[in-house]
Amino acid sequence: MIYDFDELIDRANTNSFKWDKYAGKDIIPLWVADMDFKSATPILEALENVTKQGVMGYWHVPDELVEVTVKRLAEHHHWDVPKEWIVWLPGMVPGLTLTCMCVGQDDDEVITTVPIYGPFMKAPLAARKKLVKVPLQLEDNRWTFDFEAIKAAITPRTRVFMLCNPYNPGGTVFTREELQTLADICLANNIVICADEIHCDLILDITKQHISIATLSPEIARQTVTLLSPSKTFNIAGLGCSFAVIPDDELRAKYAAMRYILEPMISAYAFEAALAAYRDGEEWRQQLLAYLRKNHAYILQEMNTFKGFKMLPLDATYLAWIDVREAGIENIAQKLEEAGVGISEGAFFFDGAGFIRLNFGTQTSLLQEAISRMKKVLELK
């Protein structure tokens, strides 16, 4: 089946978080990580079937979802996961917070690299931990870890390292060597790794491969909570179905108990959509990736024509990360909004001031319109 990613879908007045930010204004929203594409047909059909049945009580995870998830982890991640290791969650953000809650004591420390997706900074604080920020560094035009800075930040109270792979913002897919070095540091210091791998099925650079850090060795797996979800890839984040893979029995039991008391049950819609995505969504995903790669090439080309803008190619995600420090424009987000383009400010990603993030998970025609609006207010190189 051929999907039409060019089809414009009117999301105005649908209570869309992304579109309603600018309700009533002529601003193209290119901010929050939500794509403007219709979901794959098998997902839509699965949702219709839930409606047809019509009873909206509590659900438990469908056996088939567990099976396809385990199969997917084996095929895509080369990871044999016993089904008992999986804890189902209504979202990734609660998964981050639960990890911080279940490891260590109050006032222990959690390391987060910055800039980073906002909730990475808030989860440790919600779990009464101290937040320790270590900046990523730019090495050979690629955002990566500064291992010396990470080692220097570790104290006897460091209990968790929050890893985002592929990275948001910036799109880095970390290499096996980088992950091994990080894992060795964490093992040597008895630090649990909380690996958010939500963007792992959105690899744009075909020369790059996503590696789950937990697959490096059984020792590392035992010290890792890996968070995954079909939500970003298949654009079903609004339904809420994610999961944590936790090999360590004790940590998993604590996590599952805390999850039960703090988080809601997962809806039939969320489970059935996740099942359809993982079981029948590959054709859609491949076409999506082809579309995103074209949008990426277009945005990369255009962003680098603006004076003072620097965008590096992304390994993964549909979220362009653009260094605008040299443009010297005060309040650039406001200026772009006035021109009719809504981007995310780098500051949301903590320590990302001077950058903007642009979501190109939308129709190419909307991106072309956004670029033409930007050309009216920005100088070219």
Ligand X SMILES: Cc1ncc(COP(=O)(O)O)c(C=O)c1O
Site string for ligand X, 190-229 (x = CB under 6 A): ------x-x------------------------------x
277 binds ligand X (CB under 6 A): no
- Comparing C-alpha atoms, which of 103, 136, 186 is closest to residue 350? 136
322 binds ligand X (CB under 6 A): no
Give the residue with the Cβ less far from ligand X, 320 or 371: 320
**Closest C-alpha to 380, from 282, 307, 289:** 307
Residue 237 within binding range of ligand X, rule CB under 6 A? yes
- Residue list 26-65, contact with ligand X (CB under 6 A): 33
Confirm or reject binding of residue 314 to ligand X (CB under 6 A).
no
Task: State the nearest-atom distance from the C-beta of 317 to ligand X, in Å.
Answer: 8
d(CA 352, CA 65): 38
Least separation, in Å, of the C-beta of 107 and ligand X?
25
Phi, psi of 240 (to 5 degrees): 80, 75
Work out whether 97 is an interface residue with ligand X (CB under 6 A): no
User: Does the bond joining 156 to the residue before it have cis omega, within 30 degrees of 0?
Assistant: no
Q: If you ran DSSP here, which 8-state letter would residue 37 be given?
A: S
Cis? peptide before 169, omega within 30° of 0: yes
CA distance 279 to 248: 27
| Contact assessment for residue 209 and residue 76, using Cβ atoms and an 8 Å cutoff | no
Q: What angle do CA 337, 343, 346 make, to 5 degrees?
A: 120
The pattern of x and - marking residues 143 through 182 that bind ligand X according to CB under 6 A reads ---------------------x---x--------------
Stretch that binds ligand X, among 89-97, 187-195, 209-217, 348-356 (CB under 6 A): 89-97
Which of the ranges 85-93, 103-111, 211-219, 366-374 carries the binding residues for ligand X, by CB under 6 A? Answer: 85-93
Q: Does 93 bind ligand X (CB under 6 A)?
A: yes
Backbone angles phi, psi at 88, to 5 degrees: -80, 140
Q: What does the binding site for ligand X look like in residue numbers (CB under 6 A)?
A: 33, 91-93, 117, 164, 168, 196, 198, 229, 231, 237, 242
